[in-house]
A and B are shown apart, each in its own frame.
Chain A
């Protein structure tokens, strides 16, 4: 009984914290999305209930379709490239060689840098007039690309930057997955005369499937909610061409002098449902392992 009491005394601060700093903001968000807010009611309260009017407004807005499709494209393309590059690097690093540990550590740098640093560095690399990328394109004879200011390239640009940031994460998880595979399997496969590619394709890759699933699902959870990179590089623009649900929600609430908190919260709640759906699949997969 005393032990139970002590346990509670140690956990109670965390419980209070979770209620105040998680449950309450989330409740506030739902409440915001169900009311008709002005700046005045936002500060002093007393906004009338609006039911699902904010959601209806959001779904009817053509910007919703764009943001949703962009979110899906940004997430899928990021995951495919991060995973493929991460896996190739993990296989490369799986066999130790001089300096391999140091180089593997250096690969973590993009993941550890503050996002504002990565985003502003990429913004300057991709700058239309003075960026290095366009300078290199000019040398090989290709015309300059308006990476961040043209509607057809802005989403590609932020996706490239996001892939760069996500590769280390995939590398580390897949590398530790590879190291945990039994060594005998690869040896047996090699003894049977399988080539390096055949061993990978028919032995290593299938054995790695559970780790791959975890890596991709965790990546999915994190990529859906990416905000900083996109907002800092393009602010979701030009004219919504690189907006995702996360940046559009922020833009509605904070991006203009006339905030629309209700719709902003509504978009946020759609995003949270997507993130939680991905999260629950991840937790199921993690438990099955």
Chain B
């Protein structure tokens, strides 16, 4: 029993070391601007202030709205494309899995920066840079291959008897998909949706290349501008970063098992 608690103590220590940068981000976000250059910096927020957060709410709110819009749009687009295709590959046409699996794995490996330049070339010619839906389309490329692969494996485990029963009752493929397969693979849908949201929310490459001059810009660009302005107000920058981390934290708390499932099935992050 004693050795087990010894392990817990070491584990807590290791976790504290690993998460120290996150802790520091929170401390800095609460530090008054006048103490920002204090040497040495104090390890605890000695006189915590919310001035950084106030400034964020004043200046960065539109960026957050755009990010939310882009992330939700990406989730919808990704699921609309991936779920039916996954159903087909899992149940209607299993022979296609090999080819599509290979193509999607390769697609996941293409560096984001290359996709960004290609999209930029296309968007400039079509005159659709700096649009939110253009950004959604580009952001979805990170999520779609992953979503198809995850959903296919979830849908493949839906028992065939269920589908046969539906067919005997006269349900066509679409009906079967909507009322049997989708509900039965709910966990897969949640996993795919969560990761699509997180990746679109976090995207920087596509935003920087395709939407850096638009009226609606996501918060990754908001933070980037803050840093780039040679800004001394690091409490505002870190306050934005803290708020930008909220979705990831919520995800970890409410959906930890989905996160682990997604990661081990080869989740990608650029």
By a beta-carbon cutoff of 8 Å, the part of chain A in contact with chain B is 3-4, 6-11, 13-14, 17-18, 21-22, 24-29, 31-32, 42-43, 45, 89, 92-93, 95, 97-100, 103, 105-118, 120-125, 129-130, 132, 135-136, 138-139, 164, 167, 169, 172-173, 176, 218, 221-222, 224-228, 232, 246, 249-250, 253-254, 261, 264-265, 268-269, 271-272, 275-276, 278-279, 283
Contacts and interface: CB of A to CB of B under 8 A. Distances in A.
A96 B251 CA distance: 24
Most A C-beta atoms less than 10 A away, residue of B11, B28, B111? B111
Given A22-B110, A26-B118, A176-B264, A117 B241 contact: yes
12 contacts: A10-B92, A10-B177, A14-B84, A17-B144, A92-B7, A92-B11, A107-B15, A114-B202, A130-B38, A138-B40, A169-B263, A246-B111
Given A29-B114, A29-B117, 15 more contacts: A13-B81, A26-B114, A26-B115, A103-B11, A110-B18, A112-B248, A117-B25, A121-B241, A124-B24, A124-B237, A172-B263, A225-B112, A232-B204, A271-B111, A271-B114
A139 B40 contact: yes
Given A26-B118, A45-B125, A261-B121, A130 B36 contact: yes
Interface of B: 4-5, 7-8, 10-12, 14-15, 18-19, 21-22, 24-25, 28, 36-41, 80-82, 84-85, 87-89, 92-93, 96, 100, 102-103, 105-107, 109-122, 124-125, 137-138, 140-141, 144, 148, 172-174, 177, 198, 201-202, 204-205, 208-209, 220, 223-224, 227, 234, 237-238, 241, 244-245, 248-249, 251-252, 256, 259-260, 263-264, 266, 268-270
Contacts of B114: 25-26, 29, 249, 268-269, 271-272
B117 A122 contact: no
Contact of B40 (A8, A115, A125, A135): A135
Nearest to B21: A121
A-B interface, 9 closest residue pairs, ranked by CB to CB distance from nearest: A25-B118, A225-B111, A114-B202, A10-B88, A7-B92, A7-B93, A14-B85, A279-B109, A112-B248
A232 B224 contact: yes
Contact of A265 (B117, B148, B249): B117
Given A25-B119, A26-B110, A279-B105, A132 B25 contact: no
Contacts of B241: 116-117, 120-121
A98 B81 contact: no
Contact of A130 (B39, B144, B174): B39
A25 B122 contact: yes
A114 B220 contact: yes
B14 A89 contact: yes
Contacts of A268: 111, 113-114, 117
Contacts of A120: 223, 227, 237-238, 241
A39 to B, nearest CB: 10
Contact of A222 (B107, B117, B205, B269): B269
Contacts of A115: 202, 204, 269-270
Contacts of A107: 15, 18
Contacts of A136: 40
Contacts of B248: 109, 112-114
Given A11-B85, A120-B241, A227-B111, A99 B252 contact: no
Given A92-B10, A167-B18, A283 B102 contact: yes
Given A98-B5, A106-B15, A227-B112, A254 B36 contact: no
Given A21-B137, A117-B241, A271-B113, A93 B103 contact: no
B270 to A, nearest CB: 7
A207 B251 CA distance: 33
A221 B111 CA distance: 9
B4 A97 contact: yes
Given A93-B11, A97-B11, A116-B224, A6 B252 contact: no
A73 B121 CA distance: 31
B242 to A, nearest CB: 8
B92 A6 contact: yes
Contacts of B198: 112
Contact of A172 (B41, B80, B260): B260
A24 B245 contact: no
A257 to B, nearest CB: 13
